[in-house]
């Protein structure tokens, strides 16, 4: 009887355990990364200049942060999803840097990791791991966002069948102006089993050196201003057929798998940002006096700080539970869990940052202090990797009612 109950508890409460070896490994990185972000990263300047200085990028590369989830055999750190989430808490202290690194590895090169051939991995991953090359994920177009099936960028197979000519434009591409390697999604003609020709999405690895690639000026954004975001245009860009990711016509599934695997990291990043904000807000509340009392002595202020701490705890728990499930052997489908993490964390971060500004009062509204930057930076979380109102996210939740996981094609 006891063994049956124990088994049931493990199934219902499958909170992951991290090995001592993994814990020791991640602890070796936490100190240097925290030191770098506290001493070398000037977030105010990054926000004002709308650019991450090259010396800061070089520091990130030297720490190995461009290759956190790339396996060691390709020059990366080989971190699990759990370890990646832990470092994400620290990296999130600067929104622009967090987005730059996430755009590079959570989505930019993720297609090569999860669906690339061994030849593609050997060719591209080492330089992506070192940061010598930076990656970008090119899906969104003027007429399509989360609806990947509606993209218009087209790749036409050459007469000799050895390459594709890529034509089209992508918008709001993170790292678009600094990337060397692009994961690009385009329409291709595919002959089905019945002999009929149909348009289907195909994923490609595209090098900037292939030619025909231009980008617009960096977008002037509300928040995460230091991250590079711009339009990317492809004009008769010749892509070798061996640079197809997965199967020709299988790009829609590749895109959804990339996005599903990346959403979970918003939980730990949001929690990391929120814990830092709680620390700063609580310190202010303990020193600021009104009516001969510290703000921290007022019940309403205590309630707000308690709410923020509670939400950070939940974000963190959701993120690490999902990361642990994703780290299990095989390729578990955690798309529903990742969508839950994305929605809860992004909505809650926005609410909690607003609560913090209420505690800080006029101080929170001034650009001389970092608090208003937290507000501007956190707003993108509700939009990134599918808006919370996106049918993609809503369909993930609908699948729970249907009693099955969200399945793509």
Q: How many CB atoms are located within 10 Å of the residue 227 CB?
A: 28
pLDDT tens per residue across span 292-308: 999 999 999 999 999 99
Question: What pLDDT sits at residue 158?
Answer: 96
| Among 86, 66, 75, 70, CA closest to 25 | 86
Q: Of 207, 316, 372, 385, which residue is the catalytic one?
A: 385
Told to judge if 22 belongs to the known catalytic residues of this protein, a careful annotator would answer no
- Rounded to an integer, what distance in angstroms lies between the CA atom of residue 203 and that of residue 181? 13
Q: Which pLDDT belongs to residue 14? A: 59
Supply the pLDDT for residue 147. 74
Residue 219: DSSP 8-state? P
Q: Angle CA(64)–CA(66)–CA(67) in degrees, nearest 5?
A: 70
CA 200, 201, 203: angle at the middle one, nearest 5? 145
Q: What is the reported pLDDT for 387?
A: 56
CA atoms within 13 A on the CB side of 224: 25
Q: What is the pLDDT of residues 168-213, one digit of tens each?
A: 999 999 999 999 999 999 999 998 888 889 999 999 999 999 999 9
Please tell me the predicted confidence (pLDDT) of residue 41.
98
Q: How far is the C-alpha of 302 from the C-alpha of 355, rounded, in Å?
A: 11
Please answer whether residues 311 and 274 qualify as being in contact, where contact means their C-beta atoms are separated by less than 8 angstroms: yes
Query: Apex CA 203: angle with CA 198 and CA 206, to 5°?
Result: 130
293-320 burial, b for 16+ CB within 10 Å, e for fewer?
eebbeeeebeebbeebeebbeebbebbb
Q: What is the predicted pLDDT for the residue at 21?
A: 86
Residues in the chain, pLDDT under 50:
1-9, 388, 391-393, 395-397, 399-409
- Provide the Cα torsion 75, 78, 81, 85; round to 10°: -70
Q: Please provide the DSSP assignment of 123-175 as one string.
A: HHHHHHHHTSS-EEEE--BTTBSS-GGG---EEEE-TTSSEEEEEEEEEEEET
């Amino acid at each position: 009887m006891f063994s049956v109950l124990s088994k049931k508890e493990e199934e219902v409460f499958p909170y992951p355990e991290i090995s001592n070896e993994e814990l020791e490994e991640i602890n070796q990185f936490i100190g240097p990364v925290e030191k770098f972000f506290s001493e070398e990263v000037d977030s105010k300047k990054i926000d004002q200049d709308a650019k991450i200085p090259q010396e800061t990028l070089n520091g990130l590369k030297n720490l190995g942060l461009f290759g956190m989830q790339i396996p060691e055999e390709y020059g990366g750190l080989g971190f699990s999803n759990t370890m990646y989430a832990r470092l994400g808490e620290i990296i999130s202290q600067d929104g622009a840097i967090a987005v730059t690194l996430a755009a590079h590895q959570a989505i930019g090169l993720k297609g090569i990791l999860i669906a690339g051939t061994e030849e593609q991995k050997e060719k591209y991953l080492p330089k992506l791991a070192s940061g010598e090359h930076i990656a970008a994920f090119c899906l969104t177009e003027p007429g399509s966002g989360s609806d990947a099936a509606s993209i218009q960028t087209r790749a036409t197979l050459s007469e000799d069948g050895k390459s594709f000519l890529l034509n089209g434009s992508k918008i709001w591409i993170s790292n678009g102006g600094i990337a060397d390697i692009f994961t690009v999604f385009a329409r291709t003609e595919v002959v089905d089993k019945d002999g009929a020709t149909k348009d289907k999405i195909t994923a490609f690895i595209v090098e900037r050196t292939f030619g025909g690639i231009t980008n617009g000026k960096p977008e002037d954004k509300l928040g995460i201003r230091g991250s590079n975001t711009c339009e990317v245009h492809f004009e008769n860009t010749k892509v070798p057929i061996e640079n197809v990711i997965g199967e020709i016509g299988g790009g829609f599934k590749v895109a959804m798998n990339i996005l599903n695997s990346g959403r979970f990291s918003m939980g730990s990043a949001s929690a990391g940002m929120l814990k830092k904000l709680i620390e700063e807000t609580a310190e202010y509340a303990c020193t600021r006096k009104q009516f001969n009392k510290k703000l921290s002595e007022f019940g309403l202020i205590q309630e707000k700080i308690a709410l923020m701490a509670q939400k950070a705890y939940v974000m963190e728990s959701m993120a690490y539970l999902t990361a642990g499930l994703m780290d299990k052997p095989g390729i578990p489908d955690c798309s529903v869990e990742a969508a839950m993490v994305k929605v809860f964390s992004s909505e809650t971060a926005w609410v909690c940052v607003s609560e913090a500004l209420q505690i800080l009062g006029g101080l929170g509204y001034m650009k001389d202090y970092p608090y208003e930057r937290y507000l501007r930076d956190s707003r993108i979380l509700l939009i990134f990797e599918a808006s919370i109102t996106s049918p993609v996210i809503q369909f993930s939740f609908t699948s729970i009612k249907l009693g099955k996981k969200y399945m793509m094609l």
